[in-house]
């Protein structure tokens, strides 16, 4: 007997006459029609007087908030703007991608079982290389270093690890790639570069990084560079360019043309404000929190948050909230509830369509209580459910807001190319080796 059929199949009852079967069916038809009509009437009343979205909210957000959060994230998974998994391989294992089995628990914050438990649909693999020490550079940023080599190694690590687990990760270059990956149950994997100092003062390097799959560049890390001023770490740095340099403005134009996201985490306030004006495309902060909640220079002030938006005189963008305890609260006070405070402050000032998640996992030594690793994202969403966030709000926070911003970046790149925009040939004005003076070319 087929396993899909009920054990008590009414048509196979041997003790029932054909007349009895017909009578029973007649009674069923008599009651089924009115019952269906009643159900339809109740649904119509609910839609009219409660609203379709409200019905969905009531259904998906029913019961225990943590269970509801998992229910929501099973449909709208988390996209994290900044995870430093490649640096774990670099510092801990000298870039040996065979040294860690991501199918088993790792010493860091990320592995495949915990990604699945946390309902992660995608994340940005940050390829981080530290700023040069003061004695390693000069005022013009021309002292040779290994930053470009080290960045290439970090990109190599990210791509090799993604390839190592094809059943889990998919290298993504676009929004469409990510949607395909998530639709097939894989984790969309983009690559970002965490600092303009990793470009070697070269727009040609930027273009080659793009060819390798890089889709965002953070304009600065904790140091100034040839392109822009940094915001420092916990305290601001004295300005050098007072925002963007002319070369930095050209960098933004070239990133817009390519379709690379301008990342304003780590930048000074002047740099961020000028970049928001200079960029034709939406911008984002891959891992930053609210300065109004915790006053450190790495966080975004309300003055800048108020410039983010979809209306006139605003720039579309999304601030992906950082979990690093020293950007969240006083020492020993960072909790998932405090992180929720940052989310809500950004949502209050910029709007709920302009906030996302950028944990900084594997790039931080400690974590807020309740957000110990990538399996704990539902804890944050559960708190926001308690605070009245709707399905629309939560799905935007999880990743919808970021995807809208990235789509905007891609749209601007298509427009610029259709307009005939060409690759920038601008060189760093303080570069000493080019152009070469050759008498025969005079």
Tell me how far apart the alpha carbons of residues 304 and 312 are, in angstroms, rounded to a whole number: 15
Residues facing residue 263 across a β-bridge: 218, 284
Task: Sort 369 into a burial class: Cβ within 10 Å, 0-12 / 13-18 / 19+.
Answer: middle
Q: What's the Cα-to-Cα distance from 358 to each of 45, 134, 228, rounded to whole Å?
A: 41, 29, 22
252 three-state secondary structure: helix
Q: Which DSSP category does 306 fall into? A: T
The H-or-E segment that residue 193 falls in is: strand 187-193
Cα radius of gyration rounded to whole Å, the chain: 26
Number of other CB atoms surrounding residue 424 within 10 Å: 17
Report cis status (omega within 30 of 0) of the bond before 435: yes
- For 160, the token pair is 């090799």
- 73 three-class SS: helix
Residue 146 CA neighbour count, 13 Å, CB half: 4
- Give the containing element (helix H, strand E) for 221: none
Question: Six-digit token pair at 30?
Answer: 């008599």
- Tell which residue, 365, 219, 369, has the closest CA to residue 286: 219
Looking at 133-201, list the stretches that DSSP marks H as alpha helix, in order from N- to C-terminal side: 147-164, 175-183
Rounded distance between C-alpha atoms, residue 219 and residue 355, angstroms? 20
Neighbours of 1 (CB within 10 A): 7
Which residues 6+ apart lie within 8 Å of 113 measured at CB?
Answer: 103, 104, 105, 375
Catalytic residues: 82, 84, 194, 221, 266, 287, 360
Q: Which tokens in the block code for residue 219? A: 């304009």
Closest CA to 342 of 379, 384, 388: 384
Please give the Cα distance from 69 to 385 (Å, whole number).
7
């Amino acid at each position: 007997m087929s396993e899909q059929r009920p054990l008590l199949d009414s048509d196979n009852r041997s003790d029932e006459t054909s007349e009895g079967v017909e009578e029973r069916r007649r009674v069923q038809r008599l009651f089924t029609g009115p019952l269906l009509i009643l159900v339809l009437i109740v649904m119509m009343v609910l839609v009219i007087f409660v609203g379709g979205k409200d019905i969905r909210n009531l259904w998906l957000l029913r019961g225990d908030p943590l269970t509801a959060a998992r229910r929501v994230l099973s449909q709208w998974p988390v996209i994290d703007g900044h995870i430093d998994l490649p640096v774990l391989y670099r510092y801990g294992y000298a870039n040996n991608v065979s040294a860690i089995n991501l199918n088993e628990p790792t010493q860091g914050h990320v592995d495949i079982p915990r990604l699945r438990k946390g309902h992660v649909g995608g994340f940005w693999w940050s390829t981080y290389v530290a700023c040069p020490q003061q004695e390693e550079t000069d005022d013009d940023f021309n002292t040779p270093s290994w930053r470009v080599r080290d960045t290439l190694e970090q990109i190599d690590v990210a791509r090799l690890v993604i390839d190592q687990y094809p059943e889990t990760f998919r290298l993504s270059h676009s929004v469409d790639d990510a949607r395909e990956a998530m639709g097939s149950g894989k984790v969309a994997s983009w690559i970002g570069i965490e600092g303009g100092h990793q470009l070697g003062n070269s727009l040609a390097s930027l273009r080659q990084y793009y060819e390798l799959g890089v889709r965002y560049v953070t304009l600065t890390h904790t140091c100034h560079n040839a392109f822009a001023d940094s915001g420092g770490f916990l305290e601001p740095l004295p300005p050098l360019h007072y925002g963007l340099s002319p070369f930095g403005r050209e960098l933004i134009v070239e990133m817009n043309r390519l379709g690379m996201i301008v990342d304003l985490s780590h930048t000074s306030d002047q740099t961020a404000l000028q970049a928001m004006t200079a960029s034709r495309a939406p911008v984002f902060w891959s891992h930053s929190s609210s300065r109004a909640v915790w006053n450190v220079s790495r966080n975004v002030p309300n003055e800048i948050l108020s410039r983010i938006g979809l209306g006139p005189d605003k720039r579309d963008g999304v601030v992906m909230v950082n979990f690093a305890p020293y950007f969240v609260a006083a020492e020993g006070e960072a909790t998932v509830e405090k992180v929720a405070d940052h989310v809500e402050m950004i949502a209050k000032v910029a709007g709920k369509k302009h906030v996302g998640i950028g944990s900084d996992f594997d790039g931080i030594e400690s974590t807020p209580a309740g957000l110990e690793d990538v399996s704990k994202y539902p804890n944050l969403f559960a708190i926001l459910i308690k605070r009245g966030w709707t399905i629309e709000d939560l799905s935007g926070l999880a990743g919808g807001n970021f995807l809208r911003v990235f789509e905007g970046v891609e749209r601007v790149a298509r427009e610029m190319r259709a307009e005939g925009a060409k690759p920038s040939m601008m060189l760093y004005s303080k570069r000493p080796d080019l152009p070469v003076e050759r008498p025969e070319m005079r």
